[in-house]
């Protein structure tokens, strides 16, 4: 088993004393590296000295930098986690890939444009770097058990997958990714979407829609539907609809997982020990990424999988901009969401 030197770019704020999660998400990445016998956290970089110093307090012996380029040159890490805001992901990931690291684990969403998302993936391929994105919910027990129920035929043949959340881009990237997991990563043929670009808010300086809808078709005939906005709740986080029943994940005010399938007169609750979101999912994501460096296997959170979810998000924006269905692969000449905000329909 190889040993690896890990570094963090963008540690963010120190965790608050009350335990709330309004702190740098890469603390979760660091927890994943820290529990692995073959990983050592050697360095961190952050634009704010106070943030870097706080990280060193948590992980003594870590060397802190304000410039990640200097960190890369001085520390020569094997693994780098990127936890900065999305608008900087592309430039940082490409620079890290060109510095000769073995693997990069980047936070989601991938990037603020479809062009930049593809650039990141291409740069890592060209430099032989394993690239993963932190759609960590793929390791969550409720989602994995839902997939097991589906694969075991509990609801017959899969017909439709649905999800709802506050927005397509920041939260939605998890659900698009999860729907691909349920449907065995099959390619999407087309996307038909609509959004209201007004009435939303910004996350990490990225403007989001007020409400949105993404309807799409996979090549195996399964349909997908993602609804966003506070008035677009489906009553659960994910819904899997088959020819003989339904599975629901994250039921509003209810269980994390339930099924009403073949032989079920009513909903049957499936017990889970984990919720939909937790630090243990981050630890599992890091462990898988590191293990795949040794095995050569494709990581569960590979860039290939992240890119397919990201493509559907930007295809939804483009469909709304055109007022028409968008066939994949996606080809765009402008950033569709920005274009709609700057050229509103009269």
Taking residues 162-185, what's their average pLDDT? Answer: 97
pLDDT at 127 over 60: yes
Q: Which domains, and CATH codes, for the chain?
A: 4-135+279-301 (3.40.50.720), 137-269 (3.30.360.10)
Cβ neighbours for 219, distance < 8 A, ≥ 6 positions apart: 186, 187, 188, 189
Q: What is the pLDDT of residue 197?
A: 81
Q: What is the pLDDT of residue 15?
A: 62
pLDDT at 21 over 60: no
Q: What is the pLDDT of residue 198?
A: 78
- For 32-64, the pLDDT digits (tens) are 999 999 999 999 999 999 999 999 999 999 999
Confidence of residue 205 (pLDDT cuts 50, 70, 90): confident
Token couple for 177: 């990714």
Token couple for 296: 């050569």
Taking residues 201-213, what's their average pLDDT? Answer: 88
Confidence of residue 98 (pLDDT cuts 50, 70, 90): very high
Say if residue 91 is exposed, middle or buried (CB neighbours under 10 Å; 0-12, 13-18, 19+).
middle
Q: What is the pLDDT of residue 338?
A: 76
**How would you classify the pairing of strands 4-9 and 188-196?**
unpaired
Q: What is the pLDDT of residue 263?
A: 85
pTM for this model (two decimals): 0.94
pLDDT at 96 over 60: yes
Q: How many Cβ atoms sit within 10 Å of the Cβ of residue 69?
A: 13
- For 278-323, the pLDDT digits (tens) are 899 999 999 999 999 999 999 999 999 999 999 999 999 999 999 9
Q: What is the pLDDT of residue 257?
A: 98
Confidence of residue 1 (pLDDT cuts 50, 70, 90): low
Q: What is the pLDDT of residue 335?
A: 80
Half-sphere exposure in the Cβ direction for 237 (13 Å, CA)? 25
Q: What is the pLDDT of residue 22?
A: 43
């Amino acid at each position: 088993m190889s040993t690896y030197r890990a570094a963090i770019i963008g540690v963010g704020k120190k965790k608050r004393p009350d335990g709330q999660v309004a702190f740098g998400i890469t603390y979760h990445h660091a927890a994943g590296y820290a529990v692995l016998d073959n990983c050592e956290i050697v360095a961190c970089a952050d634009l704010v000295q106070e943030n870097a110093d706080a990280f060193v307090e948590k992980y003594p012996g870590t060397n802190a930098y304000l410039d990640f380029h200097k960190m890369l040159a001085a520390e020569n890490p094997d693994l780098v986690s990127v936890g900065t805001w999305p608008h900087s992901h592309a430039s940082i990931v490409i620079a890290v890939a060109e510095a000769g690291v073995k693997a990069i684990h980047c936070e989601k969403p991938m990037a603020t444009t479809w062009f930049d998302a593809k650039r990141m993936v291409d740069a890592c391929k060209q430099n032989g770097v394993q690239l993963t994105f932190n759609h960590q919910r793929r390791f969550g027990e409720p989602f994995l058990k839902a997939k097991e129920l589906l694969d075991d035929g509990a609801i017959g043949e899969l017909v439709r997958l649905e999800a709802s959340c506050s927005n397509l881009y920041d939260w939605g990237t998890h659900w698009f990714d999860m729907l691909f997991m349920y449907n065995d990563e099959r390619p999407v043929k087309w996307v038909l979407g609509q959004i209201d670009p007004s009435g939303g808010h910004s996350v990490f300086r990225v403007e989001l829609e007020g409400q949105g809808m993404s309807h799409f078709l996979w090549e195996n005939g399964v349909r997908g539907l993602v609804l966003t906005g506070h008035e677009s709740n489906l009553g659960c986080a994910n819904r899997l609809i088959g020819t003989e029943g339904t599975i629901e994940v994250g039921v509003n005010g209810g269980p994390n997982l339930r099924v009403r399938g073949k032989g079920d007169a009513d909903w049957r609750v499936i017990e889970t020990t984990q919720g939909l979101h937790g630090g243990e999912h981050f630890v599992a994501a890091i462990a898988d990424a590191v293990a795949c460096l040794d095995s050569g296997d494709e990581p569960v959170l590979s860039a290939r999988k992240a890119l397919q979810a990201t493509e559907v998000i930007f295809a939804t924006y483009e469909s709304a901009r055109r007022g028409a269905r968008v066939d994949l692969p996606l080809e765009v000449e402008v950033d569709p969401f920005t274009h709609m905000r700057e050229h509103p329909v009269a």
